[in-house]
A and B are shown apart, each in its own frame.
Chain A
């Protein structure tokens, strides 16, 4: 019996939701496990790094890596996986675009550590103990991974073949991706394994969007009772749908919440946040600077709104530190 193709799963800086989405395949997981051997999946099964190191280079058909890259350990693992896998798939928003963890790029590393270990209201740390990457105890060195200065997408660290977008990717997309891999008919390198048009195309509320949306106010979802039938933008709620790749079948909108952009931009867009900003602002009704300014107060956190899942992959990548 010929060996079944080998598949791996790994996680870096992520919440675990992506792993969960694999389990969400439900009975389809049997199809997957029937067709492939899962050789590496630390979340679900007991594998050691040394097990992977022992494998031949390129012996894994594909590894799906979820999570952004923040530590030296994640970098190391990413590189190891790269070496052992023919195909590396950035799985989910964090590996694809940086995800929620990359919102940390709005802050400096020192600021983050200071908050976590000193300033957070729940912390008492009189000795000002901070994590050390190397610590000598009883004559032995204990090491911790290095916390990097910036959150990176997977492809900012290693070469990535495909991207499976979403926070998390839907089981349907995962299943499709696995089938594609097994079929051997691979898409061009660098492809995002989801449709290349924006979410509005598959949004159930598409028909309710007016021809002239003309924004006169912006409201956050908790500030009003959202009409369950009507386009969210038409209600003044910032919805990232027009600037976000389709493929999720409008899950959030079906839950009466606006799209927050987890599938990232289409292939023609370099910067998702800049594009939604351009589209929304162009359609503001006000003309005078004062009126526009007042209206814009309805979007108090533009970075967090427009780059919720993609700050690491954005053109600027991180906040500029003052000074040179």
Chain B
């Protein structure tokens, strides 16, 4: 009746899981179990409370031994969750794990339907399809690949720094690639950190120099990943090192060249200080920049524009480190794993014009205030307005670009806390009256609520309500030459106008502009808001759907520093792969059946991994199994059916289709015809 594997007549064990009430409350599992028992090939059919539990797995193993089962079908949750568990269980009982097939009756049935009868029918159809399918299953050997021990970390903020140090301290080599001229990321811009109010530089800069000096870390700043190929354990990456026009090996960071620059005054906006101060065409981002190497901005340097500069900088450099003819360098590296820690960007408040950012000079973003309150910032820690005056009153507007249908719907998690911190710091530096305009105060975290309590008692004002607008249109004399914040105070139900000297917009966190390109390059997914998608929010928060590629920090979603550092547990995942030394891959590769291949070459250009080549001696196609990733595109396209794919053979899919569609209606109809 069915073609089987040699003499191996199927003896199928069918199991359906209640998953507590998750499945059983919608799907009549007993009915499905009874139904499956009537299908050809089924030797044992059972239902059980939790199939994935130890007793559930033991049930399968016992049946394999007792009833000599050679095929297993489990109807439970998504195969993406527990396929591995059940395969392992089958294997332990001595059965080849690929004789197992999983039916998804939870995510695909019980959780998405509420009609019990229809859900049960669907579960039966799916069970029948799987039972038909396993007739055609074959024993397969797992493919093992070696894991190269080196790790590539993309992004040198606190997440990348912490991951790099963890791995390097474990004795493995790390390539840390940072796009900016220095590592440190956003954290390097902060003055103090909540809730402990310790100085960001004091905790970050030692880590930055540890990265620079670590023998196991190759640090490439001002560099970007250009290309990445390969698969888990065996990635090949090309890193583009952009020209600094300064030899990194020779520059010692004495900054004499900056002093000697033909421009006596700095006149170009300084990126690190968000344009709040000026720099020269040759510059270093900030005093503790790591590496301590200067760089040129060819857009502003006279020599790049006219070639007529006196090049006083070159004269000043005793070590001859300046090389104005430098070009981009490309480094090729081979790594086994990759950690992506590319961080976030802050919301551009110009997109919420009611707050006047960019139009009203004394409206600042929170990040700008971080620089202003910073002792090493543009004003050496003096909080002053753009006209140089000390503000007497400051309004801090929460949730700018967060929790808003018009911009970003999500809560950026850190703004309440950093707004409290900034309120405190502003008050400390200026003695001004500080008003916080919030929707809800969100302070989950160790010591966070206490932090909030403390500042409430410090005399910071809290007004609950989303600010309608910030305006310089004075209605009363007190509002003259001030910024007026118009808001409904929802606690007292009154619309208020509060005049202040300075407005701080607590901007939310967003995915970086090029997150989408990074995602494509590394073959990972994004969630709907654009942050990188983790494999499982709870069980695999730093894994992606691509093996060997991990994510850490705010590129996965808004996070504060403690959570970001905790997420550098991605490092642990990478290390665990490295110390295992190898990984087992799904044996779902494709093969050309040599005697049937006509050499038509239809398949050759279809393979994105160039796994298919044409053997000139026999004039037939050949698939290099090590390169094949098992997409099956060539299989579907082979015009003579001469390519097969393990685990997704034509016969297996056809039988699944037939299984799904052999429903009572058609069979009866046929009988009717015969009796007519």
Interface residues of A (CB under 8 A from B): 196-201, 206-207, 209-214, 241-243, 246, 265-270, 275-276, 278-280, 282-283
Contact = CB atoms under 8 A, between A and B. Distances in A.
A209 B639 contact: no
A198 B604 contact: no
A210 B599 CA distance: 11
Nearest to B595: A197
A212 B642 CA distance: 19
B257 to A, nearest CB: 49
Contacts of B25: none
B601 A243 contact: no
Contacts of A283: 602, 605-606, 637
B650 interface: yes
B523 interface: no
B601 A210 contact: yes
Contacts of A211: 601, 604-605, 614
B327 interface: no
B636 interface: yes
Contact of A241 (B600, B636, B642, B650): B600
B601 A201 contact: no
14 contacts: A197-B642, A201-B598, A206-B599, A209-B601, A210-B601, A214-B605, A242-B598, A242-B639, A266-B596, A267-B641, A275-B641, A278-B636, A279-B638, A283-B637
Contacts of A269: 639-641
B213 interface: no
A282 B602 contact: yes
Interface in B575-632: 595-602, 604-606, 614, 619
B633 interface: yes
Contacts of A246: 598
Nearest to B619: A206
A122 to B, nearest CB: 40
Given A196-B596, A283-B606, A265 B619 contact: no
Contacts of A212: 604-605
A276 B598 contact: no
Nearest to B633: A282
B545 interface: no
Given A209-B601, A242-B639, A243-B640, 10 more contacts: A197-B596, A206-B599, A211-B601, A211-B605, A213-B601, A213-B605, A266-B642, A276-B639, A280-B602, A282-B606
B632 to A, nearest CB: 12
Contacts of A197: 595-598, 640, 642
Contacts of A267: 641
B600 A278 contact: no
B663 interface: no
Nearest to B654: A270
Interface residues of B, number: 23
A209 B642 contact: no
Nearest 10 pairs of A and B residues by beta carbon: A268-B641, A198-B598, A243-B639, A242-B600, A279-B639, A198-B640, A242-B639, A201-B598, A212-B605, A282-B637
Interface of B: 595-602, 604-606, 614, 619, 633, 636-642, 650, 654
Given A282-B633, A283-B605, A265 B641 contact: yes
A244 B675 CA distance: 39
Nearest to B606: A282
B605 A200 contact: no
B600 A209 contact: yes
Contacts of B602: 213, 242, 279-280, 282-283
A266 B638 CA distance: 11
A208 to B, nearest CB: 11
A268 B597 CA distance: 11
B526 to A, nearest CB: 21
Contacts of B595: 197
A201 B599 CA distance: 6
Contact of B639 (A198, A207, A210, A270): A198
Nearest to B643: A268
B186 to A, nearest CB: 38
Nearest to B612: A211
Q: Which of A212, A269, A280, A282 has the most CB of B within 10 A?
A: A282
Nearest to B604: A211
Contacts of B604: 211-212
A194 to B, nearest CB: 13
B175 to A, nearest CB: 33
A276 B524 CA distance: 33
A308 B612 CA distance: 31
Nearest to B641: A268
A210 B605 CA distance: 10
B598 A199 contact: yes
Contacts of A207: 619
Contact of B650 (A200, A268, A282): A268
Contact of B640 (A210, A214, A268, A282): A268
A275 B642 CA distance: 11
Contacts of A279: 600, 602, 637-639
A212 B604 CA distance: 7
B642 A200 contact: no
B654 A242 contact: no
A246 B453 CA distance: 84
A310 to B, nearest CB: 14
